[in-house]
Amino acid sequence: MTKPKLIIFGDPKRRYAAEAVDDFVQFATAKAEIIANCFRSPDKSGVDVLKEADFAVVFGGDGTILSTARELSEADVPVIGVNVGKLGFLAQFSAAELKQLFARITSDKSLIEKRMILACVIESNGSEKFGSTAINDVVIAAGAPFNMVELKVTVQGQSLAGCTSDGIIISTPTGSTAYNLSAGGPILSADLSAIVITPLCPHSLSFRPIVINADSILEIQPVRVNKDTTINLDGQVSHKLAVGDVVKVQRHHGSFLVVNNPVRTQWDTLAGKLNWAEKPKYNK
């Protein structure tokens, strides 16, 4: 039987990451071919190496998963997320579960889930000045001096709304349980193809989050912004925004391939990590 080819990523700043990586490498030596250990040798994470891998094993928290997934979006490499962070919503496996379930998660293709991601560009005077991808969300935040900003939003060239608010969140289904959820947006099943638009503290009683078709092209034109109004992708990649810019957000041609934990569902994770649908505390 052919051994799975693995590439390892991780966050060295995580307290237990180095220990977890070293323990896994020792465990996997006879069971897999580790073609690159980017935790120990970051310079080996080239595109050619990525395309050779069957799986990327990522040790860290959700932030580590997000940054790695953006790097892997062009390579179609499934991500096995190992939680050595705090919450671990995307990092679905503990270090112990990774070893216990290793044979199954590297052979059972039904555990691989394809999730959509977003492409975001900023154009100014007809030319592109910024572009990147987002796994969770594209967020426009008001920034200092923290006055409300005014944004004109169009979908497929049709005017959607004028948004006077503290900003706006454009979320994927994967990101629906992140900032979008905290801002009052809906929870979407992670395998859906859809885009969520959620205003941040809108100056309106009736501007509620909406869900649009994943193939829609969304444009946001800043009408009034602050000195430090910023667009943030996954809370990790950012760029200043100015009046006259045009933000275009649409489905990216690549995907985020995630290996799901076979011993728990998305809904188990929601309940276990975020206390979703928890019952009231009845008196006995």
Share in percent of the chain as helix, strand, coil (round to 5): 20, 40, 40
CA distances to 13, 200, 241 from 140, rounded to whole Å, are 28, 9, 8
Catalytic residue selected from 11, 62, 166, 245: 62
Instruction: Dig out the tokens for 168 from the structure.
Output: 């706006």
Please confirm, yes or no, whether 62 is among the known catalytic residues.
yes
Helix intervals (H) in the chain: 17-28, 47-52, 62-72, 95-100, 102-105, 179-182, 266-274
Dihedral sign of CA atoms 183, 223, 174, 10 in order = negative
∠ Cα 77 79 83 (to 5°):
165
Phi, psi of 68 (to 5 degrees): -70, -40
∠ Cα 261 268 272 (to 5°):
110
Phi, psi of 57 (to 5 degrees): -100, 115
The catalytic residues are 62
